[in-house]
Amino acid sequence: MTRISVSVDGATYTDDVEPRTLLVHYLREQLGKTGTVVGCDTSNCGACTVHLDGRSVKSCNVLAVQADGHDVTTIEGLAQGGELHPMQKAFHECHALQCGYCTPGMIMQSIDVLNDNPHPSEQEIREGLEGNLCRCTGYHNIVRAVQQAASSTGAQA
Amino acid sequence: MIPASFAYTAPTSLSEALSALAAGGDEAKIMAGGQSLLPILRMRLNAPSTVIDLSKIEELRGISEDGDHVVVGAMTTHSDVVTSELLQQHATLLVQAVKEVADPQIRHRGTLGGALAHADPAGDVGAPALALDCEFMIASQDGSRRTVGAADFFVDLFETAVGEDELLVQIRIPKHTGWGAHYEKFVRVKHQWSIVAVGATVRVEGETIAEAKIGLTNMGSTPLRATAVEQALIGKPATDEAVREACAAAADGTNPPSDLNGDSDYRKHLATVLTRRAVLAAAAG
Amino acid sequence: MTVTDDRPTTEVGTARLRKEDQRLITGRTKWTDNIQLTGMLHMAMVRSPFAHAKITAIDTSAAAAAPNVMAVYTGADLGEGQGVLINAWPITPDQKAPTHLPMPSERVAFAGEIVACVVARSAAAARDAAELVDVDYEELPAALELKDALSDRVLAHPDLGTNKSAYWVFDSKEAGTGGDVEEAIAKARTDGVVIEREFRQNRLIPAFMEPRSVVVDPTGEQNVMWSATQVPHIVRFALAATTGVPESKIRVIAPDVGGGFGGKLQVTPEEWIVWSVARTLGKPVKYTETRSESLVAAHHGRDQWQKLTMAAEKDGTLTGFKVELTADLGAYVAVVGGGVPVLGAFMFNSIYKFSSYHFACQTVFTNKTWTDAYRGAGRPEATFGIERMMDELAAELDMEPLELRRKNWISSDEFPFTTVCGMEYDSGNYEAATDEATASFGYDELRAEQKRRRDAGDPVQLGIGISTFTEMCGLAPSRVLGSLNYGAGGWEAASVRMLATGKVEVVTGASAHGQGHETAFSQIVADQLGVPFEDVEILHGDTQISHKGMDTYGSRSLVVGGEALVKASEKVIAKAKPVAAHLLEASVDDIEFSAGRFGVRGTDQGLSIQEIALAVFAAHNLPDGMEPTLDADAVYDPVNFSFPHGTHLCAVEVDTETGAIKMRKYTCVDDIGTVINPLIVEGQVHGGLVQGIAQALWEDAVYDDAGTLVSGSFVDYTLPTAADTISYDVHHRSTPSLTNTLGTKGVGEAGTIASTPAVVNAVIDAIRHLGVDDIVMPCTPERVWKAIRSAGANQAAPTVGAAQPHFDESETENGAAL
């Protein structure tokens, strides 16, 4: 067991974890951050995407011990003071989700896309989301949502 | 989806890392960005007794200029490579290729040195490193450093010149300032590894190609140089017709794999088409 | 008076934003894998690596002795207590089917079948110990390739003596619904045209994003199962029927479910094993599959050969269509199983006026993953077959493919129309949908560009693909299902409960997993009862709350389940009316109900239904003898299917140098009857389109010669990303269905059903002039290039059954920094 101290969605957690524990399993099972989900075992699907020190990562592809001393933001930490993040709002308003399973990862990555490039073209949005799979929406409305978020806010993570 | 148990150590200096590697012996595994290693561990295709995480060694990160070279620390992430103005200016081909590595999340964690040392022949960093005549600085147990040229670095499938108890520390890239570059990657869906890809960088004088360097991805067990094509291009005008003729031999001597995405013959054909496109795009840009 | 002022005049037809989004976009979701219970144990499975083998010994001792392991079970340990997995639709009386045990103890019939399970205090401990289970196998020859399996050379189940399961036939002459197809073909051979083709339906994996998960809690009087399933009611019924536990002691809950597409329409070995083990141990047990397990063990879809013969007159008038299918069941007959191709039996004739028709399907066992419903189930295969053949006939006759279709389809003034299969199509307007589609698509301009590129010998050629489709959806009239020997009915149940606060609780037997029922059903009930949308709450997916239901599949939830809501709402209004009369001191005959208000004719007096709900709750002043409730139940059994239709047009660029395909434009105009929520409808179409396009271009479950699934991870089972797809030009029309009062038709599967042939037709259209008239799906760049190169040799280039070794275990060099 290794002692780690991680800031997640604004709170600091100190825990003993096995080195083999993946960040996503630590978030879900030890912290109850079940908004972040697991969709594959090869790092293709991106459902587990969170922000680590402000950059998007696949939390299945990071060990919990590697997050020691770092700052993690999950889908559950986006809304501030009861106010949805503009990207969450855009996903709702553009009907960019159906079953919702890919949604947490998709939203986290979409925010990262705009952080990198506040005014992306449609193709840049599509390429920015190439590490996230969705089976319901055909991506059409996800792209619309990112476009809406970009035009309404610029990029604020 | 749950790796087998392992011990974990995260040294903060190169010498500590080398000691950990020596102590760990056969059963230890180095983790750079971990973006290929962690899937392997999750699927229990490998179960090292110790994982040595290099991410806390600051001296292995960073991009700097050293005379005629740009020097990239092995633990520099792909996203740092992509956003480096120094590399964009002097090693455009590398930047173009690294943009095509996996996806943004992976590029935030994955490292240039890690990907090179992993030596997946379908990975996108080997061919440009080979084409750019990169030099690889390797640290040994006795504290010495040795430099291996690109031609000797890639040994076989997932095998490089880095010895069992050694570490790759730096990639030294000869400046290719003013060279045009293009990395042409062929996939069926975007999140795939390259079926075939071609990296070309060319120096154009007037209307003529003065020099060309071409690296092939996934055309054999290691990245390959298309040297015959490079030779044939010298002095040729950068026209479709001339380049087409010079690139016809792009697949000569290659031995690409056959798999779900295409058989060997198809890959050879792709290599010739993609080489022509890469060279023309490089010459234009 | 209440609240109804700023509502839109009707909810139905309004693009309401979804109610269910709030929890899904904030991570406040309840997936099955989220469930943690005190003392809960975790299960890991040991699966066969062999496609067909005898289990000669299983040594579980090392696993049982591992830290924190509570138990290890083999099939023999569980014995009869594990129950059996059922097939609900024996398509013929003599259908052959092997017993399907959740965990066999003697022989495995596909790679991925479960042979042992480990239960431990953590998921990690269970996985660690599962690695220690030592199984000895004696490999048996495996039946793998579908056509080869038909020969019975190697048997998937030696005891059955054959790989042939059932042979199902529909013949229009025998049925009295049309003429003799052999006569039509013979005549066409003399003085008409006969087109003969054989098409492959690739094997697909539903690949819902949420891996399946199941938790069983055997404590308390009711045994509770949470499962990531589309069909909680079917699961409860089948558990009761096969394990001897009374239905009343079984509660199945489908909490938030992350997609299904038919892939979660199943009764699964994993559910049955967790059920059995939890009850044996008396402790809650959870099992969540990995993606690799999901791809190899959750049922697959499609996988057919289609031998098609089309007869026509020289002017293009269709006269006969003969369909001979060979369908791969995989190793077992799944819950719908052989019924999937039969669902396509009445659809190969599609929108066209054939005078004779013959359909025959042979279902076959192989030692591969079992197959069952995948989005569209039978109808995509049929639409593919007919729409590809229409293009082939058009090419043969040198006719514009749209003209050929126009010549043969049912014109709008011919409805209702009884087809050569005896189906009665109630409504449709193929002309209007096609006109709208061609205009929006820019059909003529694209044809002109195609000609320019062709004339110039451009290395990038343009192709235009057409698919004018219909489907039967809304499973289904129980009587029809009965005539097809389906094991259950096709009704749906609903309850409407008027709460004291004026809120409305609606219970549906449909079980949503992404469709947006909470929103769309609220809209229907809000209109029926005249209450605000926000006041309606939809409850579903828990057999203790929704005790009666047939669940969600086959585009049935709205057309069947939605109609049940209407019926239940009507009963509520009927109950409320005498109360209104009583309270308003008027005659019942003078009470009118409109927009949620019971008024007295000719006066301004009235009460809202919500006020009446409160009065009935108080029950202080009700008509004599009245039961103090407005609540009502209804079960609706449809009289017919509904028949949505549409015209889909696709333009692709084919790079003749590499075989790469790039989609330029995709336009569809679907006539789906009355639209409840256009936003949800468009979303369904977008997603459906991409799944259908993916069958044409990307997805393929490939096995190697040993029967191992090569495309066994998302590295090799290539789902498209946002970067591989485009924005779609989606329109809809609304010719109301006449088979239900709302006028709705199903839409959940339409995009998938229509798009696959549109794409393949476009690819062929781009390169037909180079001598190519077919490419096996998925149309990979390699296949396209080889087809062009072989200049019409019509070859089906075999896919190499190997994956790239990115995650190969051989790669263990030490110093390599990964």
* DSSP secondary structure string for all residues of C360-402: EEEEEE-SS--B---TTTTHHHHHHHHHHHHHHHHHHHT--HH
Q: Is the pLDDT of residue B18 over 90?
A: yes
181-220 in B: which are within 8 Å (CB) of C?
186, 188-193, 218
Helices C443-456 and C430-441: crossing angle, nearest 10°?
50
Q: Do B117 and C817 touch (CB under 8 A)?
A: yes
Burial classification of residue C501, based on how many CB atoms lie within 10 Å of its CB (0-12 exposed, 13-18 middle, 19 or more buried): exposed
- Residues in B closer than 8 angstroms to C712, CB to CB, are none
Chain A contacts in chain C segment 719-758 (CB below 8 A): 719, 721-723, 725, 727-728, 751
* Residues with pLDDT less than 70, chain C: 1-8, 792-798, 807-818
Record: contact A130-B10, CB cut-off 8 A: no
> CA torsion, points C447, C448, C453, C454, in degrees to nearest 10?
70
Report the amino acid identity of residue C301: G
Q: How far is CA C161 from each of CA A45, C22, C94, C152, C506, rounded to the nearest angstrom?
A: 43, 55, 14, 8, 51
Residue C810: exposure state from Cβ atoms within 10 A (0-12, 13-18, ≥19): exposed
* A135 close contact with C: CB closer than 8 A: yes
CA distance B115 to chain A (A): 15
Q: How far is A132 from chain C (nearest CA, A)?
A: 7
Query: In this complex, which chains have at least 3 CB pairs below 8 Å with chain C?
Result: A, B
Given a contact cutoff of 8 angstroms between Cβ atoms, the answer to whether B263 and B243 are in contact is no
Name beta bridge partners: C167.
Answer: C362
pTM of the model: 0.96
For residue C514, give the nearest of A37, A91, A98 by CB distance: A98
Of the residues C19, C20, C22, C25, the best mutation for testing chain A's interface (the one with the most A CB atoms within 10 Å of its CB) is C25
- Cβ contact B6–A22 (<8 Å): no
Does residue C327 belong to the interface with chain A, where contact is any CB pair within 8 Å? no
Nearest to C506 by CA among C541, C536, C543, C551: C536
Please report the pLDDT score of residue C808 as a whole number.
54
Whether residue A112 and residue B104 make contact (CB cut-off 8 A), yes or no, is yes
Query: In whole angstroms, what is the distance from residue C708 CA to residue C296 CA?
Result: 9
> ω before C476 within 30° of 0 (cis)?
yes
The β-bridge partners of B173 are B70
Task: For residue C162, give how far its alpha carbon lies from the nearest alpha carbon of chain A (Å).
Answer: 37
Chain C residues within 8 A of A28 when measuring between CB atoms: 33-34
User: Does the pLDDT at position B241 exceed 70?
Assistant: yes
> What integer pLDDT is reported at residue C559 of this predicted model?
87
Statement: residue B278 has pLDDT above 90: yes
In chain A, which residues have their Cβ closer than 8 Å to the Cβ of B104? 56, 109, 112-113, 116, 128, 130-131
Contact C713 A92 (CB under 8 A): no
- Given a contact cutoff of 8 angstroms between Cβ atoms, the answer to whether A108 and A51 are in contact is yes
The answer to whether C813 contacts chain B (CB < 8 Å) is yes
Substitution target in B120, B189, B247, B280 with the highest count of C β-carbons within 10 Å is B189
* DSSP per-residue string spanning C624-686: TT--S---EEEEE--SS-B--EEEEEEEEEEETTT--EEEEEEEEEEE-BS-S-HHHHHHHHH
CA distance C747 to C683: 10
- Using the Cβ of C292 and the Cβ atoms of chain B, whether some distance falls under 8 Å is answered with yes
* Contacts with A84 from chain C: Cβ below 8 Å: 25-26
**Chain B neighbors of A109, CB-CB under 8 A:** 104-105
Residues with Cβ within 8 Å of residue B278, at least 6 apart in sequence? B182, B183, B184, B198, B199, B200, B214
Instruction: Name chain C contacts of B26, Cβ cutoff 8 Å.
Output: 814
| C715 interfacial to chain B (CB closer than 8 Å) | yes
The confidence score (pLDDT) of residue C818 equals 40
Q: Which residues, including other chains, have CB under 8 Å from residue A64's CB and lie 6 or more apart?
A: A4, A6, A17, A21, A22, A23, A25, A26
Record: contact A99-C29, CB cut-off 8 A: no
Q: Using the beta-carbon criterion (under 8 Å), do C723 and A134 form an inter-chain contact?
A: no
- Please check whether residue C680 touches A, CB under 8 A: yes
Task: Say which of B2, B104, B109 has its CB closest to residue A62.
Answer: B109
Cα B164 off chain centre by: 20
Rounded CA separation C484/C480 (Å): 6
pLDDT tens-digit series, residues C735-761: 888 888 898 888 888 899 999 999 999
C267 with C335: CB under 8 angstroms? yes
pLDDT given for residue C796 in this prediction: 52
Among C290, C721, C816, select the one facing B158 at the smallest CB separation. C816
A44 to B108: CB separation less than 8 angstroms, yes or no: no
pLDDT exceeds cutoff 70 at B261: yes
Three-state SS annotation for C318-352: EEEEEEEEEEEEECCCCCCCCHHHHCCCCCCCCCE
Residue A115: partners with Cβ closer than 8 Å, 6 or more residues away: A54, A155, A157
Name the one residue in this structure whose structure tokens are 């991870």: C713
**CB within 8 Å of chain A, chain C residues 564-623:** none
| pLDDT for residue B86 | 98
Strands C661-671 and C729-733: parallel
Min Cα distance A30 → chain C (Å) is 11
Neighbours of chain A (3+ CB pairs under 8 A): B, C
ipTM over 0.90? The verdict is: yes
Radius of gyration of chain A measured on its C-alpha atoms: 15
> Would the CB atoms of B190 and C808 count as touching at under 8 Å?
no
pLDDT for res A156: 46
A42 CB within 8 Å of a chain B CB: yes
Which of B36, B103, B192 is most worth mutating to test chain A (most A CB atoms within 10 A of its CB)? B103
- Identify residues of B whose CB sits under 8 angstroms from chain A CBs: 1-8, 10, 34-35, 38-39, 41-43, 51, 53, 55, 79, 102-106, 108-109, 190-191
Please enumerate in sequence order all residues whose Cβ is within 8 A of that of C779, keeping only pairs 6 or more positions apart, or say none: C661, C696, C697, C759, C760, C763
CA distance B275 to B183: 9
Segment 650-689 of chain C within 8 Å of chain B by CB: 657-658, 660
CB contact under 8 Å between C806 and B192, yes or no, is: no
Chain A residues in contact with C226 (beta carbon < 8 A): none
Residues of chain B with C-beta less than 8 angstroms from the C-beta of C720 = 189
Give B2's contacts in chain A (Cβ within 8 Å): 20, 22, 25
CB contact under 8 A, B262 and C290: no
What chain B residue is nearest to C658 in terms of C-alpha separation?
B270
- Residue C552: its pLDDT value, please? 87
C687 interface with A at CB cutoff 8 Å: yes
Note the pLDDT of residue C797.
55
- Mutation target among A66, A106, A111 for the B interface, most CBs of B within 10 A: A66
Q: Rounded CA gap, B67 and B59, in Å?
A: 19
Q: Which of C207, C515, C683 sits opposite A95 (nearest CB)?
A: C683
Chains in contact with B via at least 3 Cβ–Cβ pairs below 8 Å: A, C
Residue C720: how many other CB atoms lie within 10 Å? 23
pLDDT at C815: 37
